Amino acid sequence: MAKLAFDTGGTFTDFALLDDSGELHLHKVLSTPKNPAEAVVQGVSELLEKHAATISIDGLQVLGATTVVTNAVLERKGVETGFVTTDGFQDMLRIRNEGRYDLYDLNIKYPDPLVTRQNSYGAEERIAADGEVITELREETVREIAGRLKEKGIRSVAVCLLHAYKYPQHEKRVAALLREETPDIFVSLSSEVCPEMREFDRASTTVVNAYTRPQMAGHVAHLEREFAEKGIDRQVLWMTSSGGLVPSRRAAELPVRLIESGPAAGAVAAAEFGRTAGEDSVLSFDMGGTTAKLCLIPNGEPNVGTDLEVAHYQRFRKGSGFPLKIQSIQMIEIGAGGGSIAAKNPLGLLDVGPHSAGAMPGPAAYQRGGTQPTVTDADILLGYMGTESFVGGSFKVSKDAAHEAMSKLATALDVSVERCAWGIHDLVNESMSKAAAMHATDLGVDPRSLPMVAFGGAGPVHAYGIALKLGISRVICPTGAGVSSAIGLLIAPVAVDLSASYPMAIDNWDLDAMNRLLDDLSGQGAEVVSAAGVPKETITNRYTVDMRHVGQGHEITVVLPDRSLSKEEFLGELKARFFKLYQELFGRTVAAPLEVITWRLRASGEKDQVTRPHDVVVADASKGSRQVYFQEINGYVETTVYDHYKLPVGEAVKGPAIVEQRESTAVVGPSGVFHVDGHGNLVINIL
């Protein structure tokens, strides 16, 4: 079956097509931010035309990753949204959690809530923590709210009532009433979008969903219309933040789950790249122009959790955005990329980022008006990136311009230009390795034990340096690194993540309640996954629970033991798993009672595979040489430049070396030995 994937990004929309014979074709077109569907349609048309002979439209599956949802929030271009909550709590979105994200900055701010105070309404009702209905839902208050929403022309509303994560009956009734009064309104319920405890986080998630929903629904409908005209009749599958694909209908209903759609697809691709290189567990490192993403992938599967935040008021400051409690691949985003600007800080020390020159004006070397030195300028001066072969030679850059910008900063810092450039490169590597170490320790893993998969425009340039700092001994740079997310889409399974908060103490275990709950989750999961064309019998259910010691506030996620075990064995195994993970994460265990807080299910179909082509050209892969700086030898050394695509498979070459692809360059230092494997991956072993 042919598959066609598109990934809408900020600058480019990437495509990857797997034709009937299993051959992979890649493509890129400029994105069309005003109407992202245009670029998608253009790219799809071009690919289908070009490969008409090898694709049967019949049964062609289109897959998508998108920034539509993220951008709607970042650029505040969603629709005017209403918020309905338990009366007395209408200010929840403004009150937040009352903490500060910066201790010494007296001028901190938070993004304005996506719903204004005048569009926030209280429904008279109340359910207590134990489920007791303290106040019945007064339906006339909801009808009144519906009237106001209609008057104001509000098309989308978020509903978040207290304790609805466990007792959703009032929310469901509110939805029915709102729909009765205003049939066209989009209603997002917190008990459906994010059934998790802690009202502000749940409300924040539900509001982002409501805010972006009409737009995403429109985008989905538009594409399906266009595709239908081309004779494609299968519904599009969309990448969620947790790395699974869901059918269009669900994507349109729960757009908040797509907020990290592209990066999630990238992580899925990294897992696959690692697998082809014979590695189960890898550290994925994707570095682009403005940000970098690091993601730990143990045993071929990225970790999925609920710790996510969007629209930071201060770039990359944790706590300054809208919290989102959705299942998402746990990765760390660092505010440094090729375009990050280097400057002298008030203490006279070198700082890199968080400001970025972006694509315009871009690094000084691009000569588009940028005058401040960036990471890319440093990389050019160090010889890591060539000036001739930039983006396959189609894009000319100026080393002199980079030098000029760098000299100014070097003079201000009273160091040599070379030292300044190295300092920038090294400081970025330090930030990356710090973030990687934090991310790894968060998950209880020693980062040194993992090979790194590096991609994105700047990933393979910095990978060697970061690996040295972390003590990583193997770096893998795949081909097709420029369109990784699109490749990830081809591989990803159909999958849906469901959860229910239902606290249960181990000492007071209710097996029947557990079974009812899990059966309910698996029923829901089967419905969504089979709607995407996955036969019910091939669905895999993976149950996990968030657990903690009674009295603690932070839960860790444990895989649920086999349900067919006896109660005693089941609980014994559950405890053992908790203690093992706890020891790994925090280096100790405590003899205190345990409880489960949240139950989770991932229902998924099967993963796919993709073979990337590698032209084994028996020719000299060397393209020449240039002066490249290496800290290990404290200076520049004449270094051979190789063409990645022409390197013979399996032949080991000793560093230092530069290995170029069309969209990226890999740096191999003097301690590295590299070869290309049978899948086209450049594998660098660090001695």
Find the shortest distance in angstroms from Cβ 457 to other proteins.
24
Question: Quick one: 290 or 320, whose CB is closer to other proteins?
Answer: 320
Nearer to other proteins, 95 or 565 (CB): 95
Three-state DSSP at 242 gives coil
Q: How far is the CB of 309 from other proteins (least distance, A)?
A: 14
Instruction: In angstroms, give the least distance from the CB of 160 to other proteins.
Output: 11
In angstroms, give the least distance from the CB of 582 to other proteins. 8
For other proteins, give the closer residue by CB, 186 or 322.
Answer: 322
Contact call for residues 28 and 21 (beta carbons, < 8 A) = no
CB 338 within 8 A of CB 356: no
Q: How far is the CB of 84 from other proteins (least distance, A)?
A: 15
Do strands 237-239 and 61-65 pair parallel, antiparallel, or not at all (unpaired)?
A: parallel
- Give the helix ranges, DSSP H, for 532-599: 567-586
Residue nearer to other proteins on the CB measure, 127 or 269 = 127
| Of 269, 326, 237, 260, nearest in space to 529 by CA | 237
Task: Specify whether the CB–CB gap between 189 and 183 falls below 8 A.
Answer: no
Beta carbon nearer to other proteins, 513 or 617: 513
Cα separation, 70 vs 260, in Å, equals 7
User: In the complex with other proteins, which residue's Cβ is closer, 535 or 587?
Assistant: 587
If the CB atoms of residues 231 and 471 are measured against other proteins, the closer one turns out to be 471
What is the signed CA dihedral for 583, 587, 593, 596, rounded to 10 degrees? -60
Provide, rounded to whole angstroms, the least separation between the CB of residue 103 and other proteins.
6
**Residue placing its CB nearer to other proteins in the complex, 53 or 591:** 591
The nearer residue to other proteins, 550 or 649, going by C-beta atoms, is: 550
Q: Considering the complex, what minimum distance in angstroms separates the CB of residue 219 from other proteins?
A: 31
User: Are 283 and 331 contacting, i.e. CB atoms less than 8 angstroms apart?
Assistant: no
| Alpha-carbon dihedral sign for residues 253, 254, 258, 264 | negative
Closer residue to other proteins, CB minimum distance, 103 or 619: 103
Taken in order 70, 74, 80, 85, the sign of the CA dihedral is: positive
574 membership: H or E segment, kind and range: helix 567-586
- Closest approach, Cβ 158 to other proteins, in A, equals 17
Q: How far is 330 from 306, CA to CA, in rounded Å? A: 8
* DSSP per position, 199-214: HHHHHHHHHHHHHHHH
- Taking the complex as a whole, the smallest distance from the CB of residue 100 to other proteins amounts, in Å, to 5
Contact 256, 205 (CB under 8 A): yes
Separation between Cα atoms, residue 209 and residue 250, nearest integer Å: 12
Q: Shortest distance, CB of residue 511 to other proteins, whole angstroms?
A: 22
- Peptide bond connecting 613 to the previous residue in cis, omega within 30 degrees of 0: no
Cα–Cα distance measured from residue 350 to residue 332, given in angstroms and rounded to the nearest whole number? 23
- How many Cβ atoms sit within 10 Å of the Cβ of residue 535? 9
